[in-house]
Amino acid sequence: MDNKYNYKQYEEELYTFWEQKGYFKAQVNPQKESFSIILPPPNANADLHLGHAMYVYEDVMIRYNKLRGKAVLWLAGADHAGIETQFVYEKHLKKKGKSRFDFDRETLFKDIWDFVMQNRGTMENQLRRLGFALDWSNKKFTMDDDIVQVVYKTFKDLYDEGLVYRANRLVNYCTSCGTSFSDLEVADKELKGTLYYISYPLASGKGHITVATTRPETMFGDVAVMVHPEDKRYQDMIGKSVRLPLTEREIPIIADEYVDPKFGTGAVKVTPAHDFNDFEVGQRHKLDLTIVIDFAGKMQKTGIVDGIYFTKARKIVLEKLEQEGLLEKTKDHDMVIGTCYRCGTVLQPLPKEQWFINVQPLKEKAIELVKKDAVSVHPKRFKSQLIRILENFIDWNVSRQIVWGIRIPAYKCISKDEWFISTDKPDACQICGTCNFIQDDDTFDTWFSSAQWPFATLQTISKKYFDYFYPTSVMETGYDILRAWVSRMIMIGYYETKAVPFEHVFLHGMVRDAKGQKMSKSKGNVINPLDMIDKYGADALRAALIFGTKEGGDVVLSEDKIRSMRNFGNKVWNVGRFIYMNRTEAKQGDNEHLNEKDSKTLISLQKEFATVEKKYHKHFEKFEFAKAFDLSYDFLWHRFADMYIEQLKGSMQTGNMEVRNELERVYKSCLKMLHPYMPFVTEAVWQQYHSRENSILD
């Protein structure tokens, strides 16, 4: 063995060896217990970041269960990532002086497809560099034709059962990205805003009512002023009308218990077309929708600020209100606004016809499954959080106004103005029988197709695979998408297969810097995983992400920590080299009994290691992967190397076979315990002891 472990010499070569020998290819074997994980698909277009490196937890589970003799499947895949990919591509176009509006739908889609396919291989090779034991022979893409057919079938099943409906309702709309989002994709932002107190003159010409609002520019869309029915200040005004400021239009004063009498003046404007709560009020009181902000974020139907972006329009409106003496005062106001999670633009509540899923029956079943641990959540503290998320689910808007994605298989009969769903491209209208129909331009919310990922992937490989590996064993992902993804997979997965999509959910935390701060480019504290692999090796990065981490807790990562794990990898090699160098033929007197001191030390080693091994497997049973690694690390370095080898090396160096064999046995067992975490160095040593054709995974 070389006197030093050189990760650059081994990593690429060993991964190629594993892949070519088929160690990662799943085999259906009824004689074995199955263990399966479906990789949360990374964006096919993007490079990996540290969040993707957290897939190491999945690799740990896969390699551990393979070593335990199970038939394992870790299915590789990639996500088309709808709005995120189109957002990246539009930035690419912008550099060329172009935009999405310069292309027809088919051309833009094809160009994005080519763009994604050119970059997909880069992402997959980065997963290889991390040593991930993925089954590449069955890899899937969320826009594979067979996956799309599964997504279509699920949508039609929901529609046929009355759980999909089309409605003109308020949606969260990003005027920059040009699409709507569901409530789960809204990034709430706290800020110091302003409360504007505006005088609405009574239509009778005598008196006024003061309304407090944070959005004065939307008053052109007001259809009423509202007060609490028991607010004594306004009892004599209910039923009267006011003149909408800066216009000649009159609107009524209505009463509704929704109003908080303590907010502002206790009187609020009602703008159903641009406020979610007002929309519900409008439904109750049968009020009109007056839309004064368009899908580009510009004002319309105002007669004053038409064609002006809403932020600039606000300043003009305030100036005119002040000129007419209608702006009474302003006041600082803490508020939360919804922003686009992709580009940060303030989202506009706008009415739009969309497809919605009625989640009530879906979430009720999902809650039942989680409560009775049909899906077990690890760490357990996240179980109650998942239940709350499901309880608070509202109907799911699955329509997106983008080109890049799975186009919704909904078709409109032009003559009868009705919709029908078809999983195959129809030859004729299924409503009137003629060819006079058009397909919806919208694509599915990416989370809708991703919600089907566990069963869609396996169903499209083969029935044999699906029956053997489904339900999958574990879904491992970050706690930050418990709401957006995990909850939806449980709802949709059970609905479509009548089985849970996975038996366990394991959640990891966010990766933070040495000071516990979130990593961001603006802070300059981002660690590039590929740079760290180049500098210290994949084993070092993998181990650093797990070592000393509380299960489900955020990972504190620094280059010093990665360096220390590199040093541990060297220790693993050096211990193996010491034992290997003493693999000599037994010398004269080798069969004599050990001296009493060494004999006791050997017995102590055997007992301690038996306890360590038992604890190690117990930690895995309880999904305590960091504890299992910390235990292995501590034993190999501080007990086995620093104590037992030091005490027994004299007998070993004189050729005592009993000592040499026992030290080698324990060391090889340590290699197997460490292999899920540090696969390269453990495999490299294993092959030194055996042959280049023999794997620790055999």
* Average of per-residue pLDDT across 666-685: 98
pLDDT at 302 > cutoff 70: yes
Predicted confidence at residue 584, as pLDDT, reads 54
Element (H, E) at 427: none
pLDDT value, residue 593: 67
Average pLDDT, the chain: 93
Domain limits of the chain?
183-348, 553-689
pTM for the whole structure: 0.89
- pLDDT on residue 589: 47
The residue ranges of DSSP E strands in 185-259, in sequence order, are: 186-201, 208-213, 224-227, 241-243, 250-255
> Which residues fall within 8 angstroms of residue 278, CB to CB, at 6 or more apart?
270, 271, 272
Give the pLDDT confidence score for residue 588 in this predicted structure: 46
Instruction: Report which of 694, 546, 687, 661 is spatially closest to residue 5, judged by C-alpha positions.
Output: 687
**The pLDDT of residue 444:** 97
Model confidence over 62-84: pLDDT tens digits? 999 999 999 999 999 999 999 88
| Distance, CA of 474 to CA of 452 (rounded, Å) | 15
Contact 642, 596 (CB under 8 A): no
**Coil, strand or helix: which one is 472?**
strand
Identify the residue with better confidence: 448 or 593.
448
pLDDT exceeds cutoff 80 at 90: yes
pLDDT at position 73 is 98
Burial 297-321 (b: 16+ CB within 10 A, else e): bbbbebeebeebebeebbeebbeeb
Residue 679, C-beta contacts closer than 8 angstroms, at least 6 positions apart: 14, 59, 63, 131, 133, 539
Residue 521: pLDDT band with limits 50, 70, 90: low
Is 591 a residue whose pLDDT tops 60? Answer: no
User: How many Å apart are CA 148 and CA 444, to the nearest integer?
Assistant: 11
Percentage of the chain with pLDDT > 90?
83
Reduce the DSSP state of residue 586 to 3 states and report it: coil
> Which CATH class name applies to 183-348?
alpha beta
Q: What is the pLDDT of residue 520?
A: 64
Distance from the first to the final alpha carbon of the chain = 22
**Quick one: which H or E segment has residue 142?**
none
| Per-residue pLDDT at 50 exceeds 90 | no
Judged against a pLDDT cut of 90, whether residue 136 lies above it is answered with yes
Give pLDDT, residue 586: 43
Alpha helices in 351-404 (DSSP H): 360-371, 381-391
Give the DSSP letter string of 299-343.
Answer: B-S-SSSTTSBHHHHHHHHHHHHHHTT-EEEEEEEEEEEEEETTT
Q: Which fold has domain 553-689?
A: Isoleucyl-tRNA Synthetase; Domain 1 (1.10.730)
- Please write the tens of the pLDDT for every residue from 233-245: 999 999 999 999 9
Segment 389-426, tens digit of pLDDT: 999 999 999 999 999 999 999 999 999 999 999 999 99
Strands (E), 494-628: 502-508, 511-512, 555-556
